[in-house]
Amino acid sequence: AQSVTQPDIHITVSEGASLELRCNYSYGATPYLFWYVQSPGQGLQLLLKYFSGDTLVQGIKGFEAEFKRSQSSFNLRKPSVHWSDAAEYFCAVVLNTNAGKSTFGDGTTLTVKP
């Protein structure tokens, strides 16, 4: 079945430490890939996206993500986490054959320790 999986429900890191949030997808073709962040009580904000080309994409707020076709993964990274990064992170996919319909992973809650 087609799916988007974020294996980590909750991650805690210390401020200044590096971060990696995992995202795996299961689709026949490579979908369009997105990472969104949601602060409590807020809507979602796009961090970055991948369609094709360079497999390492840069986003806002110092985030980057790497697409690995062989692993069907699109993991989000940040070299040094700030306390303001504490939020819910969602990986999402869109199939180019079903444009307009985003499928979200279940999300990863990031807690940042001082």
Contact 14, 112 (CB under 8 A): yes
Residue positions counted in the chain: 114
Q: Is 46 in the site for another protein (CB under 8 A)?
A: yes
Contact 22, 75 (CB under 8 A): yes
Contact letters for another protein, residues 75-104 (x by CB under 8 A): ---------------x---xxx-xxxxx-x
Q: Which of 41, 54, 70, 114 binds another protein (CB under 8 A)?
A: 41
3 state SS of 104: strand
**H helix count then E strand count, the chain:** 0, 12
> Minimum CB separation from another protein for residue 79, in Å?
24
- Residues that bind another protein in the complex, under the rule CB under 8 A: 32, 34, 36, 41-46, 49, 51, 90, 94-96, 98-102, 104-107, 109
